[in-house]
Every structure is written in structure tokens, then in C-alpha cells.
Structure 1
Amino acid sequence: MTQREISTELMDGPAAAHAEEAFRDVYAEVFAEPPYGEGPEEVAAAFRRFRSQTRRRTFRAALSRGAGGEPVGIAYGHALESDNDWWGRLTEPVPDEVRREDGRRTFGLMELAVRRAWRGQGVARRLHSVVLDGLTAERVLLNVHPNNVAATAAYRSWGYRKVGDAHPYDAADQHAVMMLDVGSVHAMEETMEETGVKQEAVVAVLREDGRILVILRGPQARRPGHWAPPAGTIESGERQQDALVREVREELGLRVAPLAKVWESATDDGGFVLHWWTAAVEGGELVPDPGEVSEVRWVTAEEFMELQPTFPGDHSFFTDVLPKL
């Protein structure tokens, strides 16, 4: 299924309450997976909270559906009141000015989840954009499980930064608390519109014994002569995972299995949105296409930072994302 066949609707509290079954279906499937492992009791508790949350004046939600109407992704939250306990659950206190709430300053993003079969198609990013569209809050706050590497990397790539750790509710695992400046999101979206970012590409993160496969781009490649992980444009109607498999096969002769999307970024010239995926090599023979690849190396993060030339935007992956994978 392509992203064009997925619709995303912004909802207020009453509309979301009416669609509770769709929200529950997505939540139950996603949070049954590791690292959460939630069962019927946890889901029931989550939707007792959901019903209470939908009655809040500031509640808003986004629901994505596939072509047949099946729910595939959800996002929802509400503004934090002055008496909220979010800040009080942090393991280490933050300054009073940071934790100050007035019912308008901070939007608490309670959940954002996409079913496995629809991941890698930009659904999470779309849900996030829709639920924040027109938001007047200064900032967004969320909790993310530290073992959910893909989600943590996505939030970082969208501009979130960690402000502490907390147990979101009694008996919950410790989560990272992350914050986003809403103004930075709007500025990024305006920049992408102004620079005409319309193309998307996939980046292959292939690991072996603590090293990453990187290539020196060949004479026929876009921006030749740069060191970078293998990457290529996603064709119209193509899933990110399928583009990953195709590009690695075409450029390197290897057969790979996509594992997880771990990061999202933009090229420094504003021409592409990059979707970074880890993958496992399952077969084939390493035979680079000489037009696309001049040289292949397996390097550590430190060795990559010493290569010249590289793309500045790639450095954040090697310094901030890769160590946590």
C-alpha cells in the first residue's frame, strides 16, 4: 500500500470518542509488541484514560486509515493544566520555569502509534503534523520508551530533545521525557515548502562487527565523490523497505532484509527527505556498480568522521543515533 492510499483526519474529543474502537485496535496491536508487551488489562486501563482525556476541552487527535477504511495509525493528546503530574513524575526535578504550566503553554502528546504493516511510509510523520496543525502551544511534551530506538530516533529527527526520565504512570517502565519547540517545527515545515522538498530517499545502514558499510559515490551518482552510506531515491508508489532492498541490490549486488527505520533527516541542499533504515545482509556477492560506487569500506563511527568529503548532515547519525542502536 502506498502513502497516497492513506488518509489522516484531525479529530476533537467527541469525534475521537466516537471512533474509540479504531484507536483501540491500533493501540492494542502496537503496544503488544516489544518493548511494551501490553495485554488486555493494560489496554483496558489505557482506554479508561482515553475516555477521560477525550472530555478535555483541549483534546485533539489524528487517525489514519487505509484505502479500505481500516485504522492504521493514531496520535492524540491535550494541553497540560497547571495541576498536571507529568513534571512531578520526573526522576530528577527541573527548574520551576521549565515545569510551569497554565493550560495553554504545553501540549502533551499522549500516544503516537502506527501498525507494523504501514510503517516506513511516512504515516507517523503525517500523524504528528496533523495533530499539531494550528496548535497555539509553545511546546510539545511526550514520553518514549528508551528501548524503542526507532521512535526515539524519529523524535530526535523531528526536533525533540530529552529533558529527563520519568515513570508515566504507576508500575510503568522508566521512559525518556522529550520536548519539542513548536516554533521550530513550523519553521522547518516552512523551509521545506520554500526549498521545494518533494523527493524522498532511503539510506541503508548495514552493520557488521561494530562497523558500518559506506561507499565513495561514483561518477554517475548524485553528488559524486562523497563518502556516505548507500542511498537512493524512492520511486513513485514504492515503499521505503522495497526501495532499500532495490537500491542495495543495484548498487552493491547484496540481498538485504529491512529491519527498522531508525532516523529521518533532510539533505543539506533541501532536495530530499532521507529515511534511514537498518538492514541485514542475507546473501548475494559484494559487486559494486562502478558508475554508482567508486569504493566500499566498513568503518567505525570514528573512522567515518575522519573521511573526506562527507555530507555534514550525516554526521548527526554517526554521533547521535548510531551509538544508541
Structure 2
Amino acid sequence: MRGDLLDVYAEVRAPLLHLANYAVGAFGERLDRHATEPGFQAVLAYEGEHPVGYAYGNRIEDGDRYWQRTVPAPSEMYTLPPAVALKEIGVRTAWRGTGTARRIHDALLASRDESHVTLMVNKAAGDGMVHALYRSWGYTDIGHSQPSPASPRLTVMIRPTA
């Protein structure tokens, strides 16, 4: 599954792979680290045997570094109960605009018991279309984060899981 996920990632992020934060190797290291965190879950979508998209996330709790890096500090209504952090979602170009990303997203959340799901997005990605897509899925901006020095400043968004 890891190999399929890396293959899809490489195509999805192809325009950015020259940037250190987006390099396949850096992503692989993040994936390996995230896979050891509590509540890790991944969903891959296939057409036949061809992987077309993925999403993964894990449980975060109050005091998690995810929340510590969010500015301004999020409300306790989001941080005190455990939440699921959607760490990555991506769909190959040919499957964009088909609802595949939303189906993968919903499949990931279907078995989760956390009250909220949060994600980070580069507001400039896709000329703002990715941010607008997440807003159409019910996400609301709650702050900003820069997860690493190599990462761009990201917008932190949240919504109920159900």
C-alpha cells in the first residue's frame, strides 16, 4: 500500500517536487512517522488495479503539536475532545472533478469516532480552488500553521466529522 500511495503522491504533487517539503523522500518520511501515531488510518482508491487517490490521518488530542503550532490557539471546543487530523489527501489529475476526493475523504471519516476533523491547506494551491473545495465540504478556517521550516504557511480548517 505504501508504494501505491507514494506513486499517487508523486503524480499529484509533481509541480512541487523540486521543493524540499514536497519531495517524495520527505513525504515518505512524514508518512512513516504519521503511520506510527495513534489512530492512523489510510484509504486508497483504485480503478481496477490502478491507484487513483488516497487520504490518511490520525487522532490528535489536546496538547498535540498540531494544535501547538496553530495560531491563534484554537478554541477548546476543538482541542479538548480528540479530533482526527487529515494529514494528506490527493487524487490523480484524470480523476479530479469526479467526486473521487470527496468519496475518499468520506470513507476515511466513516469509521472515525472523533467529533471533528481538521486539515491544513495552502490557500494559494490551485489558485485557491483547493481551499474553496474544502469550504464547500463544510470546513471553516480557524488559524494558520507552519509545520516545518520548509513548509509554506498553511491555513488550518475544521468541521464536524459527521
Q: Relative contact order (alpha carbons < 8 A, sep ≥ 6): 1 or 2 greater?
A: 2
The structural deviation recorded for 1:50 is 0.9
Aligned: 1:21 with 2:3: yes
For normalisation by structure 1, the TM-score amounts to: 0.46
Partner of 1:136: 113
Specify whether residues 162 and 55 from structure 1 end up closer, same or farther in structure 2 by C-alpha distance, changes over 3 A only.
Answer: same
Q: Distance in 2 between matches of 1:161 and 1:154?
A: 11
Structure 1 residues 60 and 150: alpha-carbon distance in aligned structure 2, compared to 1, 3 A threshold: same
State the Cα distance separating 1:62 from its structure 2 match.
0.8
In structure 2, how many angstroms separate the alpha carbons of the residues matched to 1:80 and 1:89? 13
After the TM superposition, which parts of structure 1 deviate over 4 Å for at least 4 consecutive aligned residues? none
- The CA distance in 1 between the partners of 2:74 and 2:42, in whole Å, is 28
CA-to-aligned-CA distance 1:187-241 (integer Å, 9 cap, x gap): xxxxxxxxxxxxxxxxxxxxxxxxxxxxxxxxxxxxxxxxxxxxxxxxxxxxxxx
Q: Tell me how far apart the structure 1 counterparts of residues 37 and 63 of structure 2 sit (CA, whole Å).
A: 14
Query: Does the Cα contact within 8 Å between 2:78 and 2:116 map onto a contact in 1?
Result: no
Find the counterpart in structure 1 of residue 45 from structure 2: 64
Residue 118 (structure 1) aligned with residue 91 (structure 2): no
The alignment partner of 1:86 has SS state of helix
Q: Does 1:48 align with 2:25?
A: no
TM-score (norm 2): 0.88
Letter in 1 for 2:56: Y
Partner of residue 87, structure 1? 67
Structure 2 SS opposite 1:91: coil
Classify the secondary structure of the residue corresponding to 1:150.
helix
Residue 127, structure 1, aligned to residue 109, structure 2:
no
Q: Distance in 2 between matches of 1:154 and 1:65?
A: 22
Asked whether 1:151 is paired with 2:130, we answer: yes
Structure number with higher helix proportion: 2
- The structure with the larger Rg is 1
- Verify the 8 A CA contact 2:141 2:155 in the aligned structure 1: yes
- In the other structure, the counterpart of 2:83 is 106
Instruction: Report 1:151-190 matches (<5 A).
Output: 151-182=130-161, 186=162
Q: Which of 76-85 and 38-47 deviates more? A: 38-47
Supply the distance in 2 between the matched residues of 1:65 and 1:40 (Cα, whole angstroms): 28
Secondary structure at 2:152 match in 1: coil
Are 1:53 and 1:59, in contact at CA under 8 Å, matched by a contact in 2? yes
Which structure 2 residue ranges, 5 or more long, are not aligned? none
Counterpart of 1:54 in structure 2: which amino acid?
Answer: A
- Report if the CA contact (8 A) 2:61-2:79 is conserved: no
* CA distance in 2: counterparts of 1:134 and 1:94, whole angstroms: 25
CA distance in 1, matches of 2:37, 2:155: 25
Percent identity of paired positions between Structure 1 and Structure 2: 33
CA contact (8 A) 1:87 1:99 kept: no
Q: Distance in 2 between matches of 1:40 and 1:176?
A: 19
Note the 1:1-325 alignment, pairs <5 A: 19-33=1-15, 37-39=16-18, 42-67=23-48, 69-95=49-75, 97-98=76-77, 100-101=79-80, 105-148=82-125, 149-182=128-161, 186=162
Over residues 155-196 of structure 1, what are the superposed CA-to-partner deviations in whole Å (9 max), with x where a residue is unaligned?
A: 1111110001111222211111000112xxx3xxxxxxxxxx
Contact 2:115 2:160 in 1 (8 A): yes
Q: Which runs of 5+ in 1 are unaligned?
A: 1-18, 187-325
The change in CA–CA distance for 1:171 and 1:101 in structure 2 (over 3 A counts) is farther
Letter paired with 1:107 = V
Q: How many residues align?
A: 158
Q: Which residue of 2 aligns with 1:198?
A: none
Residue identity in the other structure for 1:32:
A
